[in-house]
Amino acid sequence: MTTEPLPGTIGLTPIAGNTGRLIQLGQWLNGEGFEAWEHAFVLLPGNNILEAEPGGARIVPLVYTRVYWCHNIRKLLGSPSDELLNATAESLKGTPYSALDYAALALHRLHIPAPWLKSYIASTGHEICSQLDDDYYNRLAAHIFTDQRWPGYVTPASLYQRDRQLA
């Protein structure tokens, strides 16, 4: 039985081809294995989603068909209004994207000394999809991670693993 996702639920979906394989490799380098989920987004009211893309975060209709819905993470939000969910998404619209964040996350995971790394991950102003979702939840005062991780140290696989932990 599949439960319909509520607005605010994070969705995870696979990405085909070389891009998906590169993201899987990045997640593996971050110690999260080869999970089948390479892209994350947030479901908004009206069946729209907020997602990070190379041209900047955007709000578009949901088109993905194979989705793992993070129902357990969604419980952290409580019952926010549709207006609050949409306003939070609007505040993140246009957030720049950088695949270099995967490299920064891997450097941290591999304990490669780089004194600037923590501030780079936390404050560059660009976010990969999973970082955007984590930022969305933080703006709604619903913190997904409680393990003292660096701000922005989030991949699609870590969202999947956290949802499973909350089950």
Going along the chain from its start, the domains and CATH numbers come out as 10-165 (3.90.1720)
How far apart CA 137 and CA 143 sit, in angstroms, is: 6
How far apart CA 62 and CA 46 sit, in angstroms, is: 9
pLDDT score for 1: 43
Mean per-residue pLDDT of the chain: 85
How far apart CA 143 and CA 22 sit, in angstroms, is: 28
pLDDT score for 29: 61
pLDDT score for 67: 96
The residues of the chain scoring below 50 in pLDDT are 1
> Measured on CA atoms in the order 66, 24, 116, 98, is the torsion positive or negative?
negative
Q: What is the pTM of this model?
A: 0.84
Nearest Cα to 159, choosing from 73, 34, 75, 31? 73
